Chains A and B, each alone.
Chain A
């Protein structure tokens, strides 16, 4: 369904310097019981964010008021494991529009692009630079520019370009989704399916 489109995003960012953040951590299975796509942000990183009694864990970054923003910068291999799109719904619902990592899991990346959360892959060195800077200076902003495919650390002007195919680039800027595209080629699909 339609999502908030964006072309250029400038925001402070939240650092999560952990590798192999799997989708069970992003949203544990026991919170997948809804039949509608609402309220998943409340349980984003549930077991890292709250103890068993439901009290916020002070050492987790989302409970630290110093850090906030629409961009999450994480360690390597973000979004591995389960295909649950609920993980992206939870990130989106919480307020993130972009996740930055040096390496993303495939299904997670596809799910992000379908929901309108931009996955930005940067070099390991630049990921470390971003993590160090935003950790030390929570007011530091990052700018993600889709048309020029560039991510910039605004305080120093350092930047890197990132990959996104033209089709998805267009979609995410206009808030289109794949179903709109597929429904428009219904006849071609029917002709193809006739042989199957």
Chain B
């Protein structure tokens, strides 16, 4: 029998038909929608005079542009309010499950899916959001789609999709102190570049990946898109099953045993061939930070910003444009740079484990005076746990401002914007120009590094702050 990868197994089981010299008609098990990329899809269904084929396969939540304060009140911004109201109307009209603002299960779509057990191994999952790759942490094929494709899924439960090439990224070994899964993925992206996995679907493996918690695996898979990958996935194992067991939407009783038996078959055959393979040693990885305007522009925090040596043409022009935007010079160190804001949150690092690590770190300390520190839980559930575990108290005493769940300053669609010219160290996923507000300068790092920066008021090595 032909040796196949995990990606092949799930993909091939969901192909309804292969169009000759064209894409596959690809069946979608679970579809997540939010307020920003769905309204035009619903509008088009209406124009075509068709409905939603299988409403029970779609789950909705408003997250991208919701305010993170006063969520119990009417949304002040008219356009944001209209989008959220349109989502409510569409869900009511077509019978789609909605986890609305203020409800117990509200949150960022990629946080609530796993947290509720909706996300499961072997599934095909799509959403009109590129960070849908997060769900790959469970051994699912999960990827972001455009609004036309959202419309396709609503109308037919399928999309037209060409199968991506296959890449495996293996990280073996043990990472050092102060190195988190965010550092692993920022390191990988810096090594292979922001376009290094374009055209590929990535499987992550190796002992350093297998030893990660589900939350940490989600951080890795979440950022697959930041190296251009269509998505990323990790074979399910006991850590996965343990996480899912007892979750509200996970199978129960006999159905659970049957599901686990199937999930255990979901792995890459030993001699299966990938189109591209990378191997990294976790011991080489140190706390990372980005200095430029795409996530591939990352260095170890104790390192220097690369010089332009060896660069030419549009490559060099684009590099210098990026550094000019950031207000940095080629070759200089990043340690000691003054910071104005820190942001803990997003679908990358807005889960309970992230908030725990920040709270543990800042306990008994105060944030530096020059820092505004925002902490935005990924969901109501995360917020609730943070309160129950006493983390909120610790964070507030340290001078952090806890806000309500949503995408918040990760993409700054709501009022949570970093002012022009200011520096923010963020646990989010993108450092693009203006991503956190027009003119905002973003540096991406782990929750641990962000906690250390909040205390020091400048870029610093979390390992040193640890020792002090």
Contacts and interface: CB of A to CB of B under 8 A. Distances in A.
Interface of A: 1, 17-20, 22, 24-25, 28-30, 32-37, 47, 52, 75-77, 80-86, 88, 103-107, 110-111, 114-115, 128, 131, 165-168, 177-179, 181-183, 185-186, 188-189, 192-193, 196
A182 B195 contact: no
Contacts of B420: 52
B50 interface: yes
Interface in B425-447: 430, 432-435, 438-439
Interface residues of B, number: 75
B156 A186 contact: yes
B412 interface: yes
Interface stretch (B313-321, B343-351, B381-389): B313-321
B117 interface: no
B19 interface: yes
13 contacts: A20-B194, A22-B432, A24-B411, A24-B432, A30-B413, A35-B83, A85-B37, A103-B198, A107-B230, A131-B314, A182-B152, A192-B27, A196-B27
Interface stretch (B41-49, B101-109, B213-221): B41-49
Contact of B433 (A25, A37, A111, A177): A25
Contact of A83 (B83, B130, B317, B435): B130
Interface stretch (B3-11, B158-166, B273-281): B158-166
B130 A81 contact: yes
A140 B129 CA distance: 38
Interface string B144-176: 111111011001111111101000000000000
Contacts of B159: 178
Q: A-B pairs with the 5 shortest C-beta distances? A: A167-B22, A85-B146, A33-B79, A166-B21, A114-B148
Interface string B395-432: 00000000000000001110000001000000000101
B47 A1 contact: yes
A45 to B, nearest CB: 11
Interface in B171-201: 194-195, 198-199
B228 A188 contact: no
Contacts of A177: 148
A30 B225 CA distance: 21
B37 A80 contact: no
B119 interface: no
A85 B147 contact: yes
A182 B154 CA distance: 11
Contact of B25 (A52, A75, A81, A182): A182
A110 B146 contact: yes
A30 B435 CA distance: 10
A76 B296 CA distance: 14
A131 B318 CA distance: 15
B82 A35 contact: yes
Nearest to B132: A83
B65 interface: yes
B282 to A, nearest CB: 27
Contact of A80 (B20, B40, B228, B433): B228
Contacts of A35: 39-40, 43, 82-83, 86
A177 B382 CA distance: 41
Given A105-B195, A110-B146, 18 more contacts: A1-B48, A18-B318, A20-B318, A25-B432, A32-B64, A35-B86, A36-B39, A52-B420, A77-B195, A80-B294, A107-B145, A179-B148, A182-B152, A183-B50, A188-B17, A189-B27, A192-B16, A193-B157
